[in-house]
Structure 1
Amino acid sequence: MPDARSGAGSPRAGRLLRRLLGGAAALLVLMMLFVLPWWTLFASGVHWPVPVLVTGTVVFAAWLVSFPFLMTAGHGRRRADRAARVADTTLGMVWVLFTWSALGGLVHLVLIGTGVGGTGPARAVAVAVAVVSAGLLAWGHHEAMRVPRVKRLDVHLPRLGGGLDGTRVVLLADTHYGPIDRVRWSTRVAEAVNALDADVVVHAGDIADGTPAQRREQSAPLGTVRSRLAKVYVTGNHEYFAEPQGWLDRMAELGWEPLHNRHVVVERGGDRLVLAGVDDLTAESSGLVGHRANLLGALAGTDPEQPVLLVAHQPKYVEQAAAAGIDLQVSGHTHGGQIWPFNFLVRIDQPVVHGLSRHGERTRLYTSRGTGFWGPPFRVFAPSEITLLTLRPGDGPAASERSADAV
């Protein structure tokens, strides 16, 4: 039995052990992310001239050593945007290099297994990994920084009244205003939304990384967004890293309806649609009074015969939505994976990565790939989107996708 006076087995010792184990795991992951690309490009039998080997080694060593300090400075208490930009870009670059180094390593092993080894094939694999990674990073950066294309879908809801046929719902999600100043991008996104002549505009959370004061200029163009019936917003998990109530207040200041576990009802052609919203699933762990995902509270006082469009940041909330008989849930959070093959990891945590899906007898879920990006300014095989959902009554197909227009 441990001696209580020694502190062994105490909560403090347990927390210390968890921190040590967590730190060791993080260090191991970092070593893998940086060492595998270095090995593939400079040490896997390529036999580059010594100056090339030394230069590559110094660059990767500097990356590895500086990365945790930059990440801490950029996303810790200091919130230094310059450090965050470098750290986030480094993370994206290393992730792409790691992915294609792993694939290149498999190709190299196959070549060795078939008797095609030596310096020549090793160099060919290294060059191919470097060229493919550079190309994907250049293209991925362009994809991340451009104004998203519009994705258009017709969504059939059996309980939708005929007067609401053709209701145009524009969905934004995961704008992630952050360390990279995107005021101009934000303005162009607002212009693109206004060009869609929406009845309802939805922002499904993760509006920014940082406080409302930090991201005031980037969020300001949201105040120019127009809609006929309503503009509604819910918190995402990233609001709970900063000031969630501040973001609810900021969106109200910009003319949006914050659906903080509440609803509004819109009417068109004599028929009504309930727009309900819940806090993000992480809200309860924030410790903030009144912040948690509360679907019962959001629906309190609604007519059970009226169709409901629920805004919930994370797709996995659809389990509760389906149990409550919600007609349509719209979500973001996944970014479609953002940088391939991260989409496979997202799928472990979420029921879908992107697109329209059906859950239970009634409930449809639309998951956006997101309008902006988080962290690394890259999108690889996961394009951003502004989504136009046109609501249709009746038991038609779950959705019919039409052509996406470039903005």
Structure 2
Amino acid sequence: MSASEAAPAVPVAPARRFLRPLLFGLTLTGILALLFGVPWWTLVGAGTHWPTPVFAAGTAVFVLALAALPVLMYLGHGRQQDWAARIGDTVLGVVWVLFAWAALGNLLRVGLAVGGVADPARSRVAATAVAVVSVVLLAWGYVEAMRLPRVRRLEVPIRRLGPGLDGVRIVLLTDTHYGPIDRAGWSARVVAAVNDLDADIVCHTGDIADGSVAQRRGQAAPLGEVRARLARAYVTGNHEYFGEAQGWLDHMRNLGWEPLHNRHLVLERDGSRLVLAGVDDATAGSSGRPGHRPDHAAALAGADPELPVVLLAHQPKQVDGAVAHRVDLQLSGHTHGGQIWPFHLLVRLDQPTVQGLTRHGDRTQLYTSRGTGFWGPPLRIFAPSEITLLTLRPA
């Protein structure tokens, strides 16, 4: 075939630009249809034969909530309208709980059918059970989200830890998510609880807030009162990169914290030394912000390879870099422990662990906190918040 007969180039880029939003829209529509459709079917539609006014009212509530949720989430999290975020987040949390327990409620319907219970009694029993369980869990989950987090204590053996650092106390905060609900009072109570723990080191591993420093300054202000004998250190989480990551790094420095922006400190007690390092969140490189990306080599540049290393990294999946650089202990958050059961099953698809202490490779341990605050829906169901106190011991 001659050059003049060659097939013309096909412009594929415009087609891709068209398909991506289309696929996103279809995926989002499918997810919303399931989230709202399953609980509607279980509570209102499936063989319950409710009186017409009940059926109509129940259907109207689900339709209005379905139509309102995307608008509220766009206004709340896209346009930073706190009133919309509060309503939209609450709707999202309620429908997720209803969806999860409606799915289980349909298993109850099957069991009742096997037992010979006919409709409408069978479907009404299942619907009532789902409604009662959901209301109880929503009330309990709200209390759990808004309460002062419990202190979770554990000892962590570190192979290279010197005798002077035996018993050093690290307090871990993470995922405070100061946001649309003003929790300045809660923040002050958290700081008081941290100070009662008499820590040598206090760490915050990111997702400090949803919004700008100007919006959340009052909620974050109590962090300036945190006390620690050796260091207060902070690294960015993925939510900082939805807004102003550098602004939060600068603000935490102004509050007296050490922003570990791909850098480390060397801490000493009674003649023994420890490297405390931090890296940017895993999403920093794709955020478009110059100079922001997780860089383990830069964070540990110049550190004595014989010293034990504690690394702050927001996401547990950053542990691969920790293993490669022979880190002894990585401290992370991000997962919230799932926050609202059974969301932890989806978290596990993206992260190597959801919560707790795990070992990776022959040296590296990873501690994943369930988080100090909450994101979005003011709910915590079977995933309690925590302030973590880790006591280091020589292995």
Q: Which interval holds the TM-score relative to the shorter structure?
A: over 0.9
Name the structure 2 match of 1:51. 53
Residue 383 of structure 1 corresponds to 384
What is the aligned partner in structure 2 of residue 362 from structure 1?
363
Give the structure 1 partner of residue 20 of structure 2. 18
Q: Aligned equivalents of 1:257 and 1:167: distance in 2?
A: 19
- Asked if 1:265 corresponds to 2:290, the answer is no
In the alignment, structure 1 segments of 5+ residues that lack a partner are 395-407
Q: Which runs of 4+ in 1 moved over 6 A?
A: 1-4
Amino acid at match of 1:85: R
Residue 228 of structure 2 is matched in structure 1 by 227
What displacement does 1:138 show? 0.4
In structure 1, what is the Cα distance between the partners aligned to 2:273 and 2:100? Answer: 49
| Contact 1:2-1:9 within 8 A present in 2 as well | no
> Matched residue of 1:106: which SS?
helix
Q: Aligned equivalents of 2:19 and 2:169: distance in 1?
A: 53
What is residue 41 of structure 1 aligned with on the other side? Answer: 43
2:282 counterpart SS class: coil
1:296-346 Cα offsets, whole Å, 9 max, x none, are: 000011100000000000011111111211110000000000001011111
Aligned residue for 2:277? 276
**Match of 1:333?**
334
Residue 213 of structure 2 aligns to a residue whose secondary structure is: coil
Please name the residue that 1:73 is paired with. 75
Cα–Cα, structure 1 residues 2 and 246, in superposed 2: closer, same or farther, change >3 Å? farther
SS in 2 for 1:215: helix
Q: How many residues align?
A: 390
Instruction: Show the counterpart of 1:214.
Output: 215
Aligned to 1:96: 97
Give the letter for the 2:381 counterpart: V
Q: Secondary structure at the match of 1:46?
A: coil
- Distance apart, 1:115 and its partner CA: 2.9
Q: Whole-Å Cα distance in 1 between the matches of residues 94 and 28 of structure 2?
A: 18
State the secondary structure of the residue aligned to 2:297: helix
Instruction: Name the structure 2 match of 1:247.
Output: 248
TM-score under structure 2 normalisation? 0.97
Q: Which amino acid aligns with 1:38?
A: W
Identity between Structure 1 and Structure 2 (%):
65
Displacement of 1:109: 2.1
Deviates more, 1:114-123 or 1:139-148: 114-123
> d(CA) in 1 for partners of 2:182 and 2:370?
21
Deviations 1:53-103 (A, max 9, x none): 111111111101111111111111x21000000000000000000000011
Q: What does residue range 333-352 of structure 1 map to in structure 2 within 5 Å?
A: 333-352=334-353
1:12 deviation in Å?
A: 2.5
| Deviation, structure 1 residue 9 | 4.4
Alpha-carbon distance, 1:383 to partner:
0.2
Distance 1:3 1:191 in 2: 70
Q: What does residue range 273-312 of structure 1 map to in structure 2 within 5 Å?
A: 273-312=274-313
Task: Indicate how the Cα distance of structure 1 residues 354 and 2 shifts in structure 2: closer, same or farther if over 3 A, else same.
Answer: farther
| Residue 110 of structure 1, CA deviation | 2.8
